[in-house]
Amino acid sequence: MIDRNTDTELGIEVREHMAIVEIRRPPHNYFDLSFLTRLAQAFESLDADPRVRATVLCAQGDAFCAGANLEAPRAVPRPESEQTANPIYVQAVRLFALRKPMVAAVHGAAVGGGLGLALVADFRVTCAEARFSANFARLGITPGFGLTATLPRLIGAQRAASLFYSGRRIAGQEALDIGLVDTLVPREAVREQAIAQATDIATSSPDVVSALRAVLREGLVDAVRLAVARESAQQYHQFVTEDFREGVAAMTERRAPRFEGR
């Protein structure tokens, strides 16, 4: 893969009218504010490049993206106030505001904010081995990354509520069955299938695709912006609760959480 930048954690390659962006933070591909800011900047640069008509988001390592590393100090910054959006989710809004179609190659776990990142894409290619989870309630916090807007929009309110409330993981086949992903292939073929799909999109009229996408996704960015404001307001209080500390501890120790509601 040929880099167009000097960021060792982010690979960018342009193939004619299609670009590939690779997350290089294996094995879990955790993100933080700095990385998401650079990721948004990279995609905005590709959005402004007239050669690029579609993009692919993929990753190295075992996981697609396991969200933020909650064991690391300050991995998820607390909003400055109840009225201020979490800075990480501000970057999520930037990603949803992109104008060109994106295909995500989800070859492994997409968990928490990593699931939110996968839902930035227009289409998702995955495999039976992949795992998807909106595990926030198991951690003692409200879902973030705009998921309260994007997940119900994609799979319906009832299914989204079930995944939110339980925090359970689902495999690739179930993700396909409920409409969370679009294509299921063998794991070794996930990336190439995503590239093929993006290449196929790039053969269509770029002006028509751009206009059609704007119609199909009308109101999405505003919905995500409102969702992250609401999510951040709840998380502002939850980040300092005993339940959140217990949720992170339970995750670290690989056990069921023992929440007390405080």
Q: Output the tens digit of pLDDT for each of the chain's 262 residues.
A: 344 567 899 999 999 999 999 999 999 999 999 999 999 999 999 999 999 999 999 999 999 999 998 877 666 777 777 888 899 999 999 999 999 999 999 999 999 999 999 999 999 999 999 999 999 999 999 999 999 999 999 999 999 999 999 999 999 999 999 999 999 999 999 999 999 999 999 999 999 999 999 999 999 999 999 999 999 999 999 989 999 999 999 998 999 999 998 8
Give the Cα separation of 198 and 233 in Å (integer): 36
User: Read out DSSP for 191-236?
Assistant: HHHHHHHHHHHHTS-HHHHHHHHHHHTTTHHHHHHHHHHHHHHHHH
Helix (H) or strand (E) holding 251: helix 242-253
Do the domain assignments include residue 197?
no
User: Domain for residue 193, yes or no?
Assistant: no
Q: How far apart are CA 29 and CA 23, in angstroms?
A: 7
Residue 237 lies in a domain: yes
Domain with residue 76: its CATH number is: 3.90.226.10
Rounded CA gap, 23 and 30, in Å? 9
Q: Is residue 222 part of a domain?
A: yes
Say if CB 140 and CB 259 are below 8 A apart: yes
Q: Confirm whether 99 is domain-assigned.
A: yes
* pTM for the whole structure: 0.94
Q: What pLDDT score does 3 carry?
A: 43
Domain coverage including residue 150: 1-187+205-262
In a domain, 227, yes or no: yes
**Cα–Cα distance, 212 to 171 (Å, whole number):** 31
The verdict on residue 198 lying in a domain is no
**How many structural domains does the chain have?**
1
Residue bearing tokens 């996704």:
217
pLDDT at 4: 53
Q: Does residue 154 lie within any of the structural domains? A: yes
